[in-house]
Structure 1
Amino acid sequence: MAPHHRRLISGWLFVLSFMILGMIAIGGITRLTGSGLSIMDWQPVSGFIPPLSHAEWERLFALYQTIPQYHLQHEGFGLAGFQKIFWAEWIHRFWGRLMGLVLILPLSLFIYKKMITRALGIRLFIFFILGGLQGGIGWVMVASGFRPGSTAVEPVKLVLHLSAALILYVAILWTAFSVRWPAPAAETSAEPSAPARLASVMLKFGMGLICLTIIAGGFTAGTHAGFAYNTFPLMEGHLIPTNYSALSPMWMNWIANTAAVQFDHRLLATLTALTILSTLAIGLKAFRVGSRTHNGMMLLGWAVLIQYALGVTTLLLVVPVWAGAVHQTFAAVLLGVMLFVLHSLRDRQALSG
């Protein structure tokens, strides 16, 4: 692939990655404002157009009045109140449809002009299919909030929706890195030093911890666990909450017990931060100053500290919308920085020898 084609295509993929970050941020705002159940029908194509008449607004509002959330939380707030919560969800869905166009239209052009390989074209088309599947998962999640007595979506389906978004984000971002910085030829590779090998293993372990922490964060959001135990580091005066194992069987506590869900998220976040900072102590000396790996590890250190501080701030402030949305979005930023570092490890020229 020609160098200028690499820059163009990787830049387009980076734009898509940033759009997914925007989608995660909008999704956080939608969840925290209780807007996610405001649209009762799923119209993948016609949903591009918002309500344009008073009659259409009245139809949508009438649908919303049939679900439990309206009667339990918003009964009597009128059409104006409905419109306030409607727009966050509509923008969330519109952004997803826009991303589909931003992916498929340039991809069709690149394939037509033979600017990308067949293998890359197939991979990117699979991403488009996965994006459509993610929309379907989102609707299944929303529909779970229509069940009797419910005012929110099921936590497990919320986590599934978030996880699917992050999988697509990681796949597109890794592809963008690979297009922009293809792997060096085998003959230019150098044997990594022992500290470099150890740092590489620890970084992969840190990647796993980031993913687990994000999943735990999804359950924290889905169970509204962040609105309880708003002190740090203790929870009602205890390091481990006294009712951690209140539910039976034990695994139910990890997805449904507010105390256990929040504690697990705290514990995993702390382990993630300590693992990454320990890795930096080893890795920064193992990789050449100025290399992508060295610079990426510096960014990783700052990113994990910022994310940890955001988490504590969100908890202590009892999850205001702005803090919850920023914390959720920056988790994906941290994941992206870690992905950048892991991808840069393929460049053996970064080794200090």
Structure 2
Amino acid sequence: MMFQTQDRDRRAVGYWLLFMAFMVFAMVVVGGATRLTESGLSMVDWRPVTGVLPPIGEDAWQAEFAKYQQSPEYKLKNYHMSVDDFKGIFYWEWGHRLLGRLIGLFFFVPMVWFWAKDRIPQGYKPRLVGLFVLGGLQGLMGWYMVMSGLVDEPAVSHYRLTAHLSLALLIFGAIFWTALSLLNPKPVGGPAVLKRVTHTAMLVLVLQLVMGALVAGLKAGHIFNTWPLMGDTFVPEGLWFMEPWWLNMLDNAVTVQFDHRIGAYVLTLLVIAAGFVARKAPVETKNAAYLLIGTVGVQMLLGIIMLLKEVPVSWGTVHQGGGVLVLAAIINLMHKQRGRIAK
């Protein structure tokens, strides 16, 4: 990817933030694998400092396993599990938390260094501090989510899971946008109608990502593993059996999966429209629109395959990562059209 700026400081800070965006992307992918392997409740306490290292030695593992044996997940679901089985799920959650700590470290230390060297471009210091605070809040949100599965039922609240994933995507988007602003300070522009279509597509994508998190939290992907029909019909029965009606959109697995499918169709039509309109846009904007079409097409294909295969860990993880790439592609297109646009 070619960038506009030749300013040494803007490039240095911008490349660092692109690396941080990649780390957040990796965090979302690992988080998806942790959820799909049902490893998220294996660590029943939160030790931000001493939890950096995994248990060392058999006695430490036995002690950690003893704590897990007091949890609802072990008592109601994994009562047959051995210490060796426990290690398999523990390492996924430990790795997820370790990556979160590394993201905090790799963000804070360079930020302080750039600040001390007076290399942060004007106006970006408050943004960087805000991003760091958001990262800290994400750590708290993660533990708040895990706590919901350590009380009575061995499952985290799908509301808290949705909040946790949504905040991760917000952090990714904010970091990526800031990096692009540093590296490409001048907008490219495009037709006014393209900007409206792009913003509409972003709104639909946000709703689609939230709905995808609800699908994950409710395990709605494990029902109606057919496509394009849901069972024998396009519109399945049982969409609106909850009262009040709007509760179905949050708590009804059938409705949530249906809404997620419809959102995918609407988003696909919007990005195709964006590609059509972008024919008259500058080359960089046109290429960004075509890239968005490609990422959405691949993401829809991944979603269909994942559904037909009944959500295996591999395809489910790739699909979650694909959602982040679609977000990056639409942010890239929006960024090129920010501010002044060509008529």
TM-score (norm 1): 0.93
Matched, 1:316 2:308: yes
Query: Whole-Å Cα distance in 2 between the matches of residues 105 and 312 of structure 1?
Result: 41
SS at match of 2:124: helix
Matched, 1:297 2:289: yes
Matched, 1:155 2:153: no
Please, which moves more after superposition, 1-10 or 167-176?
Answer: 1-10
Matched, 1:327 2:319: yes
State how 1:22-171 maps to structure 2 within 5 Å. 22-117=26-121, 119-148=123-152, 150-171=153-174
- 1:86-123 CA distance string (max 9 Å, x none): 00000000000000011010111100000014631222
Which letter does structure 2 place at the counterpart of 1:214? L
Contact 1:303 1:334 in 2 (8 A): yes
Which letter does structure 1 place at the counterpart of 2:209? I
User: 1:329 Cα shift?
Assistant: 0.9
Query: Whole-Å Cα distance in 1 between the matches of residues 112 and 322 of structure 2?
Result: 32
SS at match of 1:303: helix
**Counterparts in 2 of 1:208 and 1:82: CA distance versus 1, 3 Å:** same
Residue 277 of structure 1 is matched in structure 2 by: 272
Query: Whole-Å Cα distance in 1 between the matches of residues 147 and 320 of structure 2?
Result: 22
Residue 206 of structure 2 is matched in structure 1 by: 211
SS at match of 2:133: helix
User: 1:246 Cα shift?
Assistant: 1.5
Matched, 1:179 2:174: no
Percent of pairs identical after alignment? 37
Which letter does structure 2 place at the counterpart of 1:19? M
User: 1:251 Cα shift?
Assistant: 1.6
Residue 332 of structure 2 is matched in structure 1 by: 340
Query: Whole-Å Cα distance in 2 between the matches of residues 46 and 317 of structure 1?
Result: 40
Contact 1:227 1:319 in 2 (8 A): yes
SS at match of 1:327: helix
Contact 2:10 2:121 in 1 (8 A): no
User: 1:57 Cα shift?
Assistant: 1.2
User: 1:2 Cα shift?
Assistant: 6.9
RMSD of Structure 2 on Structure 1 (CA): 1.7
Query: Whole-Å Cα distance in 1 between the matches of residues 59 and 135 of structure 2?
Result: 32
Query: Whole-Å Cα distance in 2 between the matches of residues 346 and 159 of structure 1?
Result: 29
Which letter does structure 1 place at the counterpart of 2:30? I
**Counterparts in 2 of 1:340 and 1:50: CA distance versus 1, 3 Å:** same
- 1:177-224 CA distance string (max 9 Å, x none): 00001136xxxx98x6xxx11111010000011110010000100000
Which letter does structure 1 place at the counterpart of 2:268? A
Query: Whole-Å Cα distance in 2 between the matches of residues 199 and 119 of structure 1?
Result: 29
User: 1:139 Cα shift?
Assistant: 0.2
Which letter does structure 1 place at the counterpart of 2:70? T
Residue 17 of structure 2 is matched in structure 1 by: 13
Which letter does structure 2 place at the counterpart of 1:280? G
Contact 1:30 1:89 in 2 (8 A): yes
Query: Whole-Å Cα distance in 2 between the matches of residues 139 and 96 of structure 1?
Result: 12
Residue 231 of structure 2 is matched in structure 1 by: 236
Count residues with an aligned counterpart: 339
Q: Please, which runs of 5 or more residues in structure 2 have no aligned partner? A: none
SS at match of 1:36: coil
User: 1:151 Cα shift?
Assistant: 2.2
Q: Please, which runs of 5 or more residues in structure 1 have no aligned partner? A: none
Find 2:245's aligned residue among 250, 261, 264: 250
Contact 1:104 1:125 in 2 (8 A): no
SS at match of 1:146: coil
Contact 1:183 1:347 in 2 (8 A): no
SS at match of 2:77: helix
Q: Which runs of structure 1 show a deviation greater than 4 angstroms over 4 or more consecutive aligned residues? A: none
Contact 2:275 2:286 in 1 (8 A): no
